[in-house]
Amino acid sequence: VVTLRQDGKVPAIDLSQDGLRIATAGDDQVLRLWQTRDGRQIWATEQLGSPLKTLDVDPQDRLIAASDVRGAVHVHAMEDGAKKFTLKGHAHPVPVVRFLNAGARLLTAGARSGASNKGRATVWSLTDQSEQLTLNRPHVITAADVNAAGTLLATVEEGDANGHIVRLWSLPGLQPQGQVGDHSEKIRHVRIAPDGNSLVTASSDGTARVFRLTGERITNIRVGLPVRFATFSSDGEQVLTCSVGKGGSAQLWRVNDATEVLHFQGQRNPMWGSLNSMGDWAATSARDGTTCIWPTDPVAIAKRLPIQNTNSADSAPLPKNPR
């Protein structure tokens, strides 16, 4: 329904909770906020010094956190884009930025500052920008997430079993809680379900898989191409995936039977996705500088479209059995 365009690739996006706005990270070093209904740009920051890597909008729609490829995390006000502060504790790209505890704290994960081949996950207090919890790991953390209650951390490490598993940790204790995963190739993304009872993994082996936290696999979604991104709908009943390669696309799937619900056509090799809290809109971003906003119920959207009266002399009748 709307296509946004900006210079360079769009490595990450996130819809606001109300679905009325969308933030986009830019390869051109710029963070932007847009209206979803008409594609109007609300604001754009100045260049932040490095290409952006990922971002997250806090659950209260007050702040946006965006990381860059040099290890900095920039926190901006959602209202006007004003910069609040910058967090530094990582080296090289920071692939994980996630708000927790209703936006009071922020999870960042990636390479450890001063040791680019080792990993670190940090929980920051946004009140005083202090490090509240730090998990140091022997390998770079490439993907991570935290549950809505802020009690469980999931991490994927570059050199840990070739990046095929997800490790679980308690918060705030950071005690090991087991591991999940049975992929044959690297896990590219992990997201914990809204109810906190399961998680979804996106893998280069061409599948997205849903697991219980005990390790039992619930669903194997066969996408057929390397899956870069996967996330749950707010009710946990559907999963949005973005796949790359020739024919790469975005798709919406049912969790209970791995059935494809929607195949979003028209955007090649989407890099990232987002679903609004109401579940009526999906958004995907791509290397070509586009961000597309899609209805998750196209029939409902079509029914709301104004239909012109076709009873004019120059209007051809519709076929009885259109195909």
**Cα 116 to Cα 146: distance, rounded to the nearest angstrom:** 23
**Cα 310 to Cα 140: distance, rounded to the nearest angstrom:** 62
pLDDT at 318 over 60: no
Q: In the prediction, which pLDDT does 162 show? A: 60
CB 48 within 8 A of CB 310: no
Helices (H), the chain: 298-304
Q: In the prediction, which pLDDT does 242 show? A: 96
- Average pLDDT of the residues in 221-247: 94
When mean pLDDT is compared across 1-5, 38-42, 99-103, the lowest value belongs to: 99-103
CB 123 within 8 A of CB 105: yes
Q: In the prediction, which pLDDT does 305 show? A: 66
The backbone torsions φ and ψ at residue 71, rounded to the nearest 5 degrees and listed phi first, read 105, 0
For residue range 179-226, list pLDDT tens digits in order.
999 999 999 999 999 999 999 999 999 999 999 999 999 999 999 999
Share of the chain above pLDDT 70, in %: 92
203 vs 113, which has greater pLDDT? 203
The backbone torsions φ and ψ at residue 303, rounded to the nearest 5 degrees and listed phi first, read -65, -25
175 vs 160, which has greater pLDDT? 175
Q: In the prediction, which pLDDT does 316 show? A: 46
C-alpha pair distances (Å), 170 with each of 111, 120, 158, 231, 319 = 21, 15, 21, 21, 62
- Average pLDDT of the residues in 88-110: 92
For residue range 35-49, list pLDDT tens digits in order.
999 999 999 999 999
Nearest to residue 191, comparing CAs of 162, 152, 133, 223?
Answer: 152
Q: In the prediction, which pLDDT does 116 show? A: 67
301 vs 38, which has greater pLDDT? 38
Contacts of 323 (CB under 8 A, 6+ apart): none
Nearest to residue 62, comparing CAs of 42, 76, 72, 44?
Answer: 76
**Cα 154 to Cα 187: distance, rounded to the nearest angstrom:** 12
**Cα 72 to Cα 55: distance, rounded to the nearest angstrom:** 12
**Cα 258 to Cα 33: distance, rounded to the nearest angstrom:** 33
Residue 247's identity, in one-letter code, is: G
Q: Which residues of 146-175 are buried (b: 16+ CB within 10 A; e: fewer)?
A: bbeebebbbbbbbebeebbbbbbbebeeee
